Structure 1
Amino acid sequence: MSYTVVGMAAGAVLAWATLSYRFWGFLIMLVFLAAGALCGRAAEGKLDLRGIRDALTGRRSSS
């Protein structure tokens, strides 16, 4: 099982408690799943966090 799947499962477990809040719980669950997937991709080494930071701070652009 990859770290991405483990991260998404952890996000789903954390978000499960928010499901009782209906629509907002669903949105929070999506945020947790995305965060878990990003953490899993970073742990696998398939996500360049420095590149993302540089793009957000304006040091690097896509052009």
Structure 2
Amino acid sequence: MSSTATRAGIAIGAVLALTWVAFGFWAFVFVAFAMAIGAIVGRVIEGKLDLSAVVGAFRGKRSSS
């Protein structure tokens, strides 16, 4: 793991922890969900995630790759 990934993980953990402490559990859940959606959108834009393969996996279709 690179130091950049470690720093990103620390920052994400700090944001989530501070959200929980300052605003409560449901705000924490909302922020975590929004961060996950943002990460998925970022992966799709970068071309590192094939959205059609993900949708196919949820529909029960198997991928050949």
TM-score (norm: length of structure 1) = 0.60
Q: Deviations over 1:3-59 (max 9, x none)?
A: xxxxxxxxxxxxxxxx86411001100000000000000000000111111111112
Supply the distance in 2 between the matched residues of 1:23 and 1:56 (Cα, whole angstroms).
28
Alignment partners' CA distance in 2, 1:23 and 1:34: 17
List, as ranges, runs of 4+ consecutive aligned residues in structure 1 with deviation greater than 6 Å: none
Give the TM-score normalised by structure 2: 0.58
Q: What RMSD in Å do the two structures reach over aligned CA positions? A: 2.2
- In structure 2, how many angstroms separate the alpha carbons of the residues matched to 1:35 and 1:20? 22
In structure 2, the gaps of 5 or more residues are 1-20
Contact 2:53 2:63 in 1 (8 A): no
Percent of aligned positions that are identical: 43
How many pairs align?
44
Q: Over alpha carbons, which structure has the higher Rg? A: 2
Q: Which runs of 5+ in 1 are unaligned?
A: 1-18
